[in-house]
Amino acid sequence: MDNQELIQRVTEKAAKWLTPAYDAQTQQEVRRMLDNPDKTELIESFYKDLEFGTGGLRGIMGAGSNRMNIYTVGAATQGLSNYLNKCFKDLKQISVVVGHDCRNNSRRFAEISADIFSANGIKVYLFEDMRPTPEMSFAIRHLGCQSGIILTASHNPKEYNGYKAYWDDGAQVLAPHDAAIIDEVNRIASASDIRFTGNPSLIESIGAAVDDAYLAQVKGISLDAPAIARHKEMKIVYTPIHGTGMMLIPRALKMWGFENVSTVPEQMVKDGNFPTVVSPNPENAEALSMALALAKQIDAELVMASDPDADRVGIACKDEKGEWVLINGNQTCLMYLYYILTQYKLLGKIKGNEFCVKTIVTTELIKKIADKNHIEMLDCYTGFKWIAREIRIREGQKQYIGGGEESYGFLAEDFVRDKDAVSACCLIAEIAAWAKENGKTLFELLLDIYVEYGFSREFTINVVKPGKSGAEEIKQMMTGYRNRPPQEIGGSPVVLIKDYQALTQTTVADGQTIPLEMPDTSNVLQYFTQEGTKVSVRPSGTEPKIKFYIEVKGEMKSRADYDALNAAAEKKIEAVRASLGI
């Protein structure tokens, strides 16, 4: 399709948004795009429909079929309502939870969604104000609901919003419901198919009572209350980066016994424009800069930052030189599981039926820790819905004790079925207190784990390719890697290739291929080299980028080896980048 054909197609599509089914503000915005001689914005807004995928919706806010607005959100909610009414037709009253974060339009989208659910005869528990995503997951199970949604774009820039759908187990929707819901959403042909006029008698506001129940459960995760009691004055700095964490995390830390928690005042302000950061992503050092400045001022020992919907947490602590360093998602996941397993053994809680979970792109060191402690370690796809699936499969038979992913998400409990920054903040604070109890800093604890299990350095590279042309470029990159796999990476021969789209594992030396046992296919490639380097390549499911996860290994005999190993790893990662052409 040439550019003129594309312009004609999007023009015809946009003209349908100038009908009475769409409000005056939307029509005005569409007309502005149509009248603009530069058709770039029109094309980006209408060249496709914003897809309701297996993770829901996520996109830039604005008018158009490829944007987050009341009509794309409305179509998603109407489709989900139709499916719920089919699935649970014999139930006297179907119910859902609706939550939202701090983003611009999140409350509006939540209220409109509540209206649509209620217009379809579905009981709605609508949070009175923004709340963390994990609390919404908890509320589904706590209130006995069949589904739930949350309006959030997680850590994306301020221009974005999103819509995540959950099932009755409190986890994001998986097969077969995901595809069936997508089919229902795709059947919504126009705005006139959406029931926007709500039934107020079916909408109930919730808040404090659910907060109390959730926080009581979170408190039950604590494994060493005496250590906290002895180090309750440990100085902690926390920031919600303008998001939902401010509603519960300071309170949760106090309930756990931490009495010296300072928050960043400027970032304890609810604001969907995130005025104090470039991006509200706790993976980025810049997002923690104000918290670190406060930590230096008061001589704190731990810094924590949650993302806008409080499902992920980034942390920082002092290294052996007393300088503040960021701890990445792989490292926090290592420490969480190391601590949980250590405490379970000390407390005599190991019964032989425990299991933990990590995603395929997360550090392999976690498996070494699990293996040494005779705990089953499961690998799953990226995304906590897959970790939740493993919990659900084993529910009532085996004991889940923790799971995490490299992208700063961890879940220590099974009463929530998504990553949880509320419990994760409390738990990492407890780990810091426990380390202090044992004469270590948090950083020294991490180094000791490396000494015991081997050094690992992970690095994620995000290659951003926005828009229609970017999507095509990402597709071509994956095709190239799949059809012409690298023979060496960073100077080491590739010995094993895993293709999760083909569900095959190939040994390079003899070309032998065996099946990969996974619940579904996924567009992910993995390469393993002779010296232990692991590279995973996957397009993001929620953002216009392709992600490269690199893990390099080393042997660490003492804490003193860390700097040298880190420097060698940096060089190795540059060599890997050169091999992959990124």
Tell me, yes or no, if 154 is annotated catalytic: yes
Within the chain, how many helices (H) and strands (E) appear? 18, 23
The residue type found at 219 is K
Residue with tokens 């950083």: 443
Q: Which of 81, 106, 147, 154 is an active site residue?
A: 154
Asked if 458 contacts 330 with a C-beta cutoff of 8 angstroms, the reply is: yes
The residue type found at 6 is L
Cβ burial of 255 (10 Å; 0-12, 13-18, 19+) is middle
Distance CA 425, CA 236 (A): 10
Distance CA 538, CA 525 (A): 7
Here the tokens at position 7 are 């312009």
The dihedral built from the CA positions of residue 297, 298, 301 and 306, taken in this order, carries a sign that is negative
Closest residue by Cα to residue 360 from 418, 313, 403: 403
Residue 469 CB coordination number (10 Å): 9
Closest residue by Cα to residue 382 from 218, 526, 576: 526
Cβ burial of 447 (10 Å; 0-12, 13-18, 19+) is buried
Closest residue by Cα to residue 131 from 232, 205, 216, 235: 205
Closest residue by Cα to residue 454 from 366, 334, 550, 365: 365
SS (H, E, C) 136-162: HHHHHHHCCCCEEEEECCCCCCCCEEE
SS (H, E, C) 49-101: CCCCECCEEEEEECCCCCCECHHHHHHHHHHHHHHHHHHCCCCCCCEEEEEEC
Distance CA 56, CA 162 (A): 8
Distance CA 309, CA 103 (A): 9
| Residues that are catalytic | 154
